[in-house]
Amino acid sequence: MGKLDGRVVIITGAARGQGEQEARLFAAEGAKVLLGDVLDEQGAAVAKEIGEDRARYVRMDVSREEDWAAAVTAAKESFGRIDGLVNNAGILRFNELTATPLEEFQQVVQVNQVGAFLGIKSVAPEIEAAGGGTIVNTSSYTGLTGMAYVGTYAATKAAILGLTRVAALELAARGIRVNAMCPGAVDTPMANPGLLDPGNMTAEAREAMADLYRRVVPMGRVGRPEEIARLALFLTGEDSSYITGQPFVIDGGWMAGVSVL
Ligand SMILES: NC(=O)c1ccc[n+]([C@@H]2O[C@H](COP(=O)([O-])OP(=O)(O)OC[C@H]3O[C@@H](n4cnc5c(N)ncnc54)[C@H](O)[C@@H]3O)[C@@H](O)[C@H]2O)c1
């Protein structure tokens, strides 16, 4: 028996990274998954590998309300209903606040913050109609603490925590639990663009990255996307049946305090 037998879950940004691992793990635990992303080739390949009976890919830009409507229709056509959502899609831009062009700020808000809002707005009524379920939003530890040069991103991730709390309050009576994950550094193309072209990553670059995490993360290493997927599974499945409205930090201890070692 899987932990998500009979569940139907939409996962955004599922073509790679954490979203891909969430789709693979959820399907392995018995769920049917609708993968949404803007990376069509990769997204379709992941869905194909998982298997047509359990997974379907649709192109969706999470900042477009019409794409959400199309994704909801596709999920219902393929799997009959929807009772879960993982708002995972996100983008990161490095910049000092005073140097950030307004357009860049607005682009990050559109994907991270508006995307999560539209997900809740579009999918919650479907989850309610299915008899209840879960929404998991992907915030970040920068949603809880500051980090220089990611001001725009941090603002959207803090906003996602606000959305999570309010959605939990408003949706509890409709049988929907809403929680958020706050990952620290995770080894995906977002935190480690070298992964997009591993052949060109020098041994020095790899070692510099490993050394950074050895110094700043108490557990001494970067997180793996599979580890975040297991938290998403916990928050989507019955193991978290009495939990709603909460942020869950998953960061190897990075936020526990100031490291002097
Ligand atoms: N990697 C980290 O260190 C880290 C830390 C904390 C939080 N997060 C968050 O985790 C989530 C997943 O990121 P990841 O680490 O897997 O990075 P990633 O860049 O590998 O994956 C992000 C996915 O989102 C997709 N995406 C981007 N814009 C989109 C849009 N408009 N519509 C639909 N899909 C879109 C991308 O194509 C990609 O497949 C993000 O919300 C990110 O902010 C990541």
Question: What is the mean pLDDT of the segment spanning 36-47?
Answer: 98
Per-residue pLDDT of 201-223, as tens digits, reads 888 888 998 999 999 999 999 99
CB 20 within 8 A of CB 186: no
Does residue 3 belong to any structural domain of this protein? no
62 lines ligand 1 (CB under 6 A): yes
For residue 261, name the pLDDT band (cuts at 50, 70, 90).
low
Does residue 176 belong to any structural domain of this protein? yes
Does residue 225 belong to any structural domain of this protein? yes
Q: What is the mean pLDDT of the chain?
A: 96
For residue 2, name the pLDDT band (cuts at 50, 70, 90).
very high
Print the domain residue range for 84.
8-187+197-251
Does residue 46 belong to any structural domain of this protein? yes
User: One of 57, 141, 153, 213 is an active-site residue; which one?
Assistant: 153
Distances (CA, A) of 34 to 43, 148, 260: 10, 35, 44
Judged against a pLDDT cut of 80, whether residue 161 lies above it is answered with: yes
Residues 6+ apart with CB under 8 A from 148: 96
Per-residue pLDDT of 60-98, as tens digits, reads 999 999 999 999 999 999 999 999 999 999 999 999 999
For the chain, percent of residues with pLDDT exceeding 90: 91
How many domains does one find in the chain?
A: 1
* Separation between Cα atoms, residue 36 and residue 58, nearest integer Å: 5
* Separation between Cα atoms, residue 31 and residue 162, nearest integer Å: 28
Q: Are strands 55-59 and 84-87 parallel, antiparallel or unpaired?
A: unpaired
For residue 55, name the pLDDT band (cuts at 50, 70, 90).
very high
CATH code of the domain covering residue 126: 3.40.50.720
End-to-end CA distance of the chain: 45
Other CB atoms within 10 A of residue 151 CB: 20
Q: Quick check: pTM over 0.95?
A: yes
Judged against a pLDDT cut of 70, whether residue 179 lies above it is answered with: yes
252 lines ligand 1 (CB under 6 A): no
CB 142 within 8 A of CB 108: no
Length of the chain equals 261
Does residue 192 belong to any structural domain of this protein? no
Cα of 225 to ligand 1 centre, how many Å?
A: 11
Per-residue pLDDT of 3-16, as tens digits, reads 999 999 999 999 99
Does residue 258 belong to any structural domain of this protein? no
Does residue 89 belong to any structural domain of this protein? yes
H/E element, 32: strand 32-37
Nearest alpha carbon, ligand 1 atom 42: 90
Does residue 245 belong to any structural domain of this protein? yes
